[in-house]
Structure 1
Amino acid sequence: GVAEAAKSGKSILFMIETNPGPGLGLLLAYWFFGPRSVRPTAPGAIIIHFFGGIHEIYFPYVLMRPVLILAMIAGGMSAVLTFLVTGAGLVATPSPGSIFAYLAVTPKGEFLPVLAGVAVGAVVSFGVSMVLLKATVHEEEEVKVLESTPVTASAPA
């Protein structure tokens, strides 16, 4: 990334790992469609992740439902595709990977491609996470209802 940035003034390689979009989409999906006990934790995690740049905050959310790794992959892939198509790149590593760090190392006049990639990653990750959470949360609630229903022994008639 550094050699490419020195040669052409920017590099897409700085954007591969540090994009805050897919994590934002996942956390938004948890906020709106996650298990009721987890929903209140998502807004704080969004602030820490998106504005603070600490991506590790969303790892436990993925580990609660490992199938959500598919949402993260889809969000990351779509963001990288958007970066490629729009010619986005950064002049240095955005560290930490917050939206503020992204904007700080965006070349002059190239904010739209960078923000488009972050937004596409968030939207795709949100959509896939929403579908997966709706499918798995529903099953989990049915199990809880069945477990909480008292079982009564009935004598054969």
Structure 2
Amino acid sequence: MIQVSVCGPREATQQDLANAREIGRLLAERGAAVICGGYSGVMNAVAEGSASAGGLVIGILSQHTKTDSNPHLTVAIPTGIGEARNAIIALAGDAVIVVGGSWGTLSELALARRRGATVVQIGGWRISDSSGKPVSGVIYADTPEDVIDRTGLFA
């Protein structure tokens, strides 16, 4: 089974939430498991979208318990390791999708790129070097359908 990690902030824009929900639905329709942080915001929206289409959703939780995890998870994995769980999320996906932006989301993007994973981003921050040139390795997309296509997992 294809596994796709979807990362995004707890406090997200309405557009980011809509994109995440649609990305979750599209991934489920293609038979992919969604891996996310398991709480609110983009994590809840992608889980909701996937669950609505019968998809498998795995939440890697920062806390010691399943308390406060979102109701759309198929599997909730409490880790008790706080933000360090971002490394698990970044490593678990065959590709990583970034929706929107926050510091935690940026850490997941960086960890995924560090390991050489395909990272596709919609919305959020655009990362550039000191000369203003976009950092290589992040693929930018404009629509949820484009995000799915650019992962290269569903040819």
Judging by fraction of residues, say which structure has more helix.
1
| TM-score > 0.5, shorter chain as reference | no
Q: TM-score, normalised by structure 2?
A: 0.27
Looking at CA atoms only, which structure, 1 or 2, has the larger radius of gyration?
Answer: 1
- Greater RCO (CA < 8 Å, at least 6 residues apart): 1
